Amino acid sequence: MIGNWIATVGRALRGRPAPVTYALIVLCCLIFVIGPASGLDPAYGTGDELLVAQRAYFRRWGVVPTALFGGAPGEALTPATALFIHGSWLHLLGNMLFFYVFGLMTEERMGHLEFALFYLGCGYLALLGYAAANATSQQSLVGASGAISAVLGAFLYLFPRARVTSLFPFLFFLPLRFPAWVVLPFWFTLQWLAAGRSSPGPGVAYLAHLVGFSLGFVYAWARFRPRRPLAPVRGVLPGPPVERPGQVDRE
């Protein structure tokens, strides 16, 4: 899950359509509602029967490191399918809130197709990185956190001065506005500290957050950093155009 005690609220700068962001949010919500994790479908039963169905569901569609690296058929696809599976209502809503806040502007800047490929590719690699670091784990890993963390990393590079309203729960929820270059490195630091304290077993995959965020930032830097124009070679002057037989001018 992306956020534990910080929730952010924001909006797109230009208000342009972001169909990929909205489609992914709707798809994740729909998959969650019809699956056993929501507890809404009576076909999955109740009590222990529901818990068994949930575990089987997460194991089927989530990333299980031992199975992934054990060469089981179809396991190579699980870092992609796991991006659309969530373990609880809080898990889903927290991830989708962060994705909505930071996905709109990032999609607007990247373009729809590139953003979709970026989301899926970075999400896949984030979960793969977590699985590689926990190769002996038999726990199922699900959630879009790795992909959304990549969106946060890209957002930090693309819009460092964009102001984000953050809700900090002190004695009450206190809304404060900070630029992204303050909020997102602070969030990254929290994930880093939490990853160092986390123990093997069920919980939040902080390492997937760190991998995803780093991938997103590096991708945005490599893709959108300012390019310096090539300097002309000293002592060489451009000559007149060379006419070739049959050459015609075209506008």
Determine, yes or no, domain membership for 250.
no
SS3 51: helix
Determine, yes or no, domain membership for 249.
no
Give per-residue pLDDT as tens, 10-38.
Answer: 455 556 789 999 999 999 999 999 999 99
What does pTM read for this prediction?
0.83
Which pLDDT does position 16 carry in this prediction? Answer: 73
CB within 8 Å of 189: residues ≥ 6 apart: none
Return the percentage of the chain with pLDDT > 90, whole number: 66
Determine, yes or no, domain membership for 229.
no
Which of 120, 128, 118, 80 has its CA nearest to residue 216?
A: 118
Split into its structural domains, the chain has a count of: 1
Determine, yes or no, domain membership for 191.
yes
Tell which phi-psi region holds residue 58, choosing left (phi > 0), alpha (psi between -120 and 50) or beta: alpha
What percent of the chain is helix, strand and coil (3-state, nearest 5)? 60, 10, 35
Give per-residue pLDDT as tens, 128-159.
Answer: 999 999 999 999 999 999 999 999 999 999 99
Determine, yes or no, domain membership for 93.
yes
Residue 167 DSSP one-character state: E
Residue listed under structure tokens 């502007």: 105
- Numbers of helices and strands, H then E, in the chain: 9, 3
Give per-residue pLDDT as tens, 160-178.
Answer: 999 887 765 554 555 667 8
Which pLDDT does position 10 carry in this prediction? Answer: 46
Give per-residue pLDDT as tens, 36-69.
Answer: 999 999 999 899 999 999 999 999 999 999 999 9
Is the CB of residue 155 less than 8 Å from the CB of residue 180? yes
Q: Which domain holds residue 154?
A: 7-224
Give per-residue pLDDT as tens, 191-238.
Answer: 999 988 866 556 789 999 999 999 999 999 999 998 877 666 565 555
The side-by-side arrangement of strands in the sheet containing 7-9 is 7-9, 163-169, 173-179
Exposed, middle or buried by CB within 10 Å (0-12, 13-18, 19+), for 194?
middle
Does 70 score more than 60 pLDDT?
yes
Exposed, middle or buried by CB within 10 Å (0-12, 13-18, 19+), for 231?
exposed
Is the CB of residue 152 less than 8 Å from the CB of residue 164? no
Which of 156, 130, 131 has its CA nearest to residue 212?
A: 130
H runs (alpha helix) in 134-205: 145-158, 180-197
Which pLDDT does position 199 carry in this prediction? Answer: 61
Determine, yes or no, domain membership for 18.
yes
Other Cβ atoms less than 10 A from the Cβ of 215: the count is 23
Spatial separation of the C-alpha atoms in residues 127 and 215, rounded to whole Å: 12
Determine, yes or no, domain membership for 199.
yes
Give per-residue pLDDT as tens, 87-119.
Answer: 999 999 999 999 999 999 999 999 999 999 999
Which pLDDT does position 136 carry in this prediction? Answer: 92
Which pLDDT does position 123 carry in this prediction? Answer: 98
Spatial separation of the C-alpha atoms in residues 232 and 243, rounded to whole Å: 23
Domain of 155, CATH number, reads 1.20.1540.10
Determine, yes or no, domain membership for 101.
yes
**Which residues are the active-site residues?**
145, 209
